[in-house]
Structure 1
Amino acid sequence: MKTIVFLNTQKSGSSRDALLAAKELGYEVILITDRLSISDNRDEFPEVTEMIYGDVKNLKYLRYKIYSLMKEGYEIDAIVSFNDGDVYHASLLADEFSVGRFSTVAYKCMEDKILSRLCLRGTPYNPYHKIININANILDHDIFSHLPLVMKNPLSTGSKEVFIVNNNLEFFERMDYLFKNRVKYILLEEYLKGPQYLVETMVIKGKVHIIAVIEQDIYMYKGRSIVVGYNLHYDYNPDFYKGLETAVNDIIKHFELENGTCHLELRYINKQWKLIEINPRISGSGMNEMIRYSLGINLVKETLKLALGLEVDIAPRISLPIYAAYLVSPISGRLLKVTGKQSALESDGVISVYVKPKKGSQIYLPTSMGHRYARVIATGKSPFEAKINARSALDKIKLHILKD
């Protein structure tokens, strides 16, 4: 039985799209997950042949499970993950089981933000940054003279442990929080003000293919940066795009990525591109859906084909401006109901509407990307119209919350 093994997934978004794409390609789908919210809802994943609940961070355990699957008659053709923090382990295991086609060392450097900065050492793409540990003498004027700074756990996922610190008090408060949560090292980076872009790429035999360039709209909440809007369009100044293309190619070259996908988040500061971070996978949430609606490319499906050694087709079939707007909550509490979904769906230009929480769910203030509770994807005659359509529709969705 030709089989693809997946490490973790979300209930929706790019990682879930990958499970469905694997089934469409004719493969048995094995999902190993450490999330009870997934394993306890097995019936919601009909595309999964077998779901295994276990420790996805334990390589010894994973090897044992994969050997067991092979003894059961599964022919393992690929081991992959589209989930934040699990991509490197999946690629490493694929190499061990002789089905690896991605650049594993590059993936490791992308997942670890300290290694990412080391890969770009001496290039103009690195902002000012510093690494500190619990035993370091952090009373360094070189650090505090650069405030405000971005303080992050270098292995953080989904912006969960990434903070903007504006002064000495916030610096020590956030540092104590991270160390109390057993973070051994902290990465400090210059806080860059300027427009931020997300660039989705696929690399095939060393050639970088830019799939999409997306402007990001960011909502700030108590030092956290939460992306609430993605503007996918093609109306870029040729010189601007050429500079971006050159920077993306150069950055990926420094990581020595020969085969695989990755997305970069960059800011354009004083006519210079600065890398915020790079991740070894397509961006999560609705990114695959956005690209499919905008270009006619199912990027996760093509990524699977690359992992399987099949011919990849990333030629655009259409070209539509797309905007995805996300809803965050100004209060926390228990969700009583959601209204306005149908009204949003019937709004001008709207392609899809997704509401994440169910009645009774706990709603949190936006301290991570996981605290976005609804999404509207819309198009229009122009990028601006697509944005207006998406945001107008999103405004119709209301979370009715019993406040904590």
Structure 2
Amino acid sequence: MARRALILVEGHRGNGLLYVQAARLLGLHPITMASDPAQYEYLAAESVKYIHVDTDNLDALIWECSRLRATYEIVGITGFAVENEQVSATVGKLCRHFDLPGPNPASIERCCDKFVQRQILAEAGVPMPAYGVAANSKDAQNAAMGIGLPVVVKPVVGSGSIGVRLCRNLDELASHTTYLLGGKHMSSSPRILVEEFAEGPNYCAEIMGNEVVGIVGSDLGRPPHFVFREITFPALLTDDEYKRIADISLSCLRALGLGWGPTNIDFRWTKRGPVVIEVNPRLSGAPGPQLVQLGYGVNLITEHIKLVIGDKPNLRRSHSRTAGWRSLLPDRDGTLDWIDGDSRAAAVPGVAEVKLYLESKTPIIRKGDHRDSMGHVLAVSPSLPETGAILQRAINLIRWSIT
């Protein structure tokens, strides 16, 4: 009998290994297809089979999958969208070609273009910040003046807070607009979004199918950048606040034609209540799935894989605790001379994981997005104050030097 294979298109620094481990526990053989497999260190460390292929080329992916079917039974295809959200749409097209469960690629593509996403949500009456689109500096200035400074400026296509910046005056707006429109990461027809700065606490709804599994609360770094510093699950919300976020989340799914597989939706709770910052038609990056598992006992990655291979997921909570994550962020650019204390931090009662991403002598160049993190600490306890105290005790044991 042919081995049952799960195809993973591209990889992920945080979730990639978790998908490999979950697939193997389900009796599947994970195979990664990537444009640059060497960037995913866990592939070699875990002896994961991989294929070097241009993942922007749908025909090449179809050919590779067809070739594998001579040896394996491909029971599911999924993938990761970190800096290239089009991967999610490509996965949907692959699933349709091979008649496998998967997302609607047209819905995914609508979400990947943030301007189109905004237009669709606006037509559905979903509360959002005021916004405009620009293809040049003059358009950006006109949009900002219509909205009112300060404004948030971001690429129309992108993720991970890459290129997202708060512009407090016209000089900052002009500088960042020039940077984005001339950036190598932009598409051949670059456009940017200029949005009202929605002030208030940040939340994220974690969704599987049409069910809101839970809501995450997060603390972002100081403007002008939006770098996650601390995340807690479940968020501290009243029943009414939870319902309002959940109801708006489901409205987003209906408007955008989503509702299969994972979705995460970012919110800000402003003076007029929750407003949608972004709908992401994918599982949130680490630590979202880990926090949900620690807090509620629901393994979103395992349940997603079940959907991918045609099984029914189980989203029932087995317990209710408070999980927390804190990022290790550098305070300056330079060279990381040394970093240690991770083993001492991991020994603190209540700490679930400590991970360092960088080694000594690594250059530190802060970019103002998710790539700035040098590592993280995960903790869990029965209450929010206790989890916060555990995180702080662990963080205090980790030291580093940057010169």
Task: Report the TM-score, using the length of structure 1 for normalisation.
Answer: 0.91
What is the correspondence of 1:234-313 to structure 2 with a 5 Å cutoff?
235-313=236-314
Deviation at 1:41, TM superposition (A): 6.8
Distance in 2 separating the partners of 1:35 and 1:391: 37
Q: Deviations over 1:274-325 (max 9, x none)?
A: 1111111221122222111111111011001011110211101111111111
Secondary structure at 2:68 match in 1 = helix
Q: CA deviation at 1:139?
A: 4.7
For the structure 1 residues 139 and 364, does the alpha-carbon distance in structure 2 shift closer, same or farther, using more than 3 Å as the test?
A: closer
Q: Secondary structure at the match of 1:51?
A: strand
CA contact (8 A) 1:265 1:275 kept: yes
Residue 96 of structure 1 pairs with residue 101 of structure 2: no
Q: Percent identity?
A: 21
Establish whether residue 55 from structure 1 lines up as the match of residue 54 from structure 2: yes
Is 1:155 aligned with 2:128?
no
Counterpart in the other structure of 1:200: 206
CA offset at residue 365 of structure 1?
2.0
Change (3 A) 1:396 1:384: same
Deviation at 1:16, TM superposition (A): 2.3
* Partner of residue 3, structure 1: 5
Bigger drift between 55-64 and 292-301 goes to 55-64
* C-alpha distance in structure 1 between counterparts of 2:145 and 2:62, whole Å: 43
Find the aligned partners of 1:236 and 1:19 in 2 and give their Cα distance: 34
Cα distance 1:141–1:197, how it changes in 2: closer, same or farther (>3 A)? closer
Does structure 1 conserve the Cα–Cα contact (< 8 Å) formed by 2:366 and 2:372? yes
SS of 2:20's equivalent in the other structure is helix
State how far apart, in whole Å, the 2-side matches of 1:40 and 1:397 are: 24
* Aligned-partner SS, 2:221: strand
Task: Write the distance in 2 (CA, Å) between the matches of 1:124 and 1:42.
Answer: 41
**1:126 Cα deviation from its structure 2 partner:** 2.1
Deviates more, 1:380-389 or 1:313-322: 380-389
Residue number in structure 2 paired with 1:187: 193
- The residue identity in structure 2 corresponding to 1:83 is A
Partner of 1:35: 36
Supply the distance in 2 between the matched residues of 1:59 and 1:366 (Cα, whole angstroms).
31
> How far apart in 1 are the matches of 2:302 and 2:79?
13
8 A contact 1:338–1:397 mirrored in 2: yes
Q: Is the 8 A contact 2:154 2:193 kept in 1?
A: yes
Q: How far did 1:152 drift?
A: 0.7
CA offset digits 1:182-235 (Å, max 9, x no partner): 5311111111110110110011xxxx21112111101125x2110111111265
Per-residue deviation, residues 40-87 of structure 1 (Å, max 9, x unmatched)? 7742132x2x2112322222322222222224x222221111332222
| Contact 1:261/1:303 (<8 A) preserved | yes
The whole-number CA distance in structure 1 between the counterparts of 2:400 and 2:198 is 33
Q: How far off is 1:102 after superposition?
A: 2.2
Q: Give, in whole Å, the separation in 2 of the partners of 1:128 and 1:234.
A: 26
CA contact (8 A) 1:103 1:260 kept: no
CA, structure 1 residues 316+82, in 2 after alignment: closer, same or farther (shift >3 Å)? farther
Number of aligned residue pairs: give it: 393
Counterpart for residue 173 of structure 1? 175
Corresponding position: 1:357 with 2:358: yes
Q: Deviations over 1:355-403 (max 9, x none)?
A: 11123333232521121112111123421221222133123212233x2
2:113 maps to what in 1? 112
Three-state SS of the structure 1 residue aligned to 2:240 is helix
Q: TM-score normalised to the size of structure 2?
A: 0.91
Evaluate the alpha carbon distance shift between residue 25 and residue 36 of structure 1 in structure 2; reply closer, same or farther with a 3 A threshold: closer
1:367 partner amino acid = G
Does structure 1 retain, via aligned residues, the 8 Å contact 2:217–2:235? no
Inter-partner Cα distance in structure 1 for 2:126 and 2:154: 21
Report how far residue 272 of structure 1 moved.
2.3
CA distance in 2, matches of 1:137, 1:232: 40
CA distance change for structure 1 residues 297 and 158 in 2, over 3 Å: closer, same or farther? same
The residue number in structure 2 matching 1:80 is 78
- C-alpha displacement at 1:135, in angstroms? 8.7
Q: Distance in 2 between matches of 1:396 and 1:144?
A: 48
**Corresponding residue number in structure 2 for 1:376:** 377
Which amino acid in structure 1 is aligned with residue 80 of structure 2? F
Does structure 1 retain, via aligned residues, the 8 Å contact 2:131–2:147?
Answer: no
